[in-house]
Structure 1
């Protein structure tokens, strides 16, 4: 029992409350201004981001204005007494967009596809220009006659007879196996 109480006392002494975390560094306070830090967030930092995988941001989207403070007090009572506009105002004070708004398709893929096709066509034009103006003619050794002569010479010399090209030629019948 004493061990449990000692452990509890040590954990309480080490534990830092949320409000102390917000004021622990000036950068975090400057980042959130007078917005309310309402939770841990997706990484423990006081930032706001609409994310479908973690829908609870660490801070509210908007700073507390007198109008929002009045609505927050009214919110503590019966929600049926709130009008639809007041509920929407409360939601917009905490969140920037709804799930439907931030998951809606933006059409950004059209621009990406257009630019990638433009870059691909530019690459094709550069290749055609290089082939036309920079590269010389192919060497004579790549002509069909020269390649056939080279193949015949390789077979006559029996190059790589174990597992190479000569192993696939039938020397008795003069044809491929």
Structure 2
């Protein structure tokens, strides 16, 4: 059994790594002056407020002189920061709090409106078809005398005698069984 000898190659960046680096630079150009702070949802530089992904890849606001001054003050004692400063630091990183993300919005109203609109359109289409598309109902359905005559004929020809209509008719006494 012969031993294979591994020949070391020169370390050259692959085409894939070059494409990744190019995409990385394109994405960095899109985010402007924002700070990259994490991986995010899929590794791309994007900001999304979502409960399932609490840490976006970039900060919400771009770095401005006011935010940079707050970040310098943040490195010191937090007791010296006011509540407004802490809120400003939070809002520089995030757009919404968890309670704001979980708060109900008005989407259910528009969904309900569209559902009711669809139901009303269906109703009016049904009325239009009933008036202009379908032929009128036959007399055997609308006229009571004809319905009774049809029932008498079904009894006379003994329709479904085992457990149907004719099984409930008493032919000797000409009345319904009790």
TM-score, with structure 1 as normaliser? 0.65
| Equivalent position of 2:112 in the other structure | 113
Pairing 1:59–2:52 present: no
Counterparts in 2 of 1:37-116, with a 5 A limit? 37-116=36-115
Give, in whole Å, the separation in 2 of the partners of 1:22 and 1:71: 34
1:63 deviates by 0.5
Give, in whole Å, the separation in 2 of the partners of 1:28 and 1:43: 13
Give, in whole Å, the separation in 1 of the partners of 2:49 and 2:72: 25
Relative to its length, the structure with more helix (as a share) is 1
Task: Point out the structure with max Rg over C-alpha.
Answer: 2
1:141 deviates by 9.0
Give, in whole Å, the separation in 1 of the partners of 2:21 and 2:47: 17
Structure 1: runs of 5+ lacking an equivalent: 1-12, 14-20, 145-164, 166-177
SS in 1 for 2:69: helix
Structure 2: runs of 5+ lacking an equivalent: 1-10, 12-18, 145-163, 165-178
Note if contact 1:40-1:58 (Cα within 8 Å) is conserved in structure 2.
yes
Q: How many residues are treated as equivalent by the alignment?
A: 155
TM-score, with structure 2 as normaliser? 0.65
Give, in whole Å, the separation in 2 of the partners of 1:60 and 1:88: 14
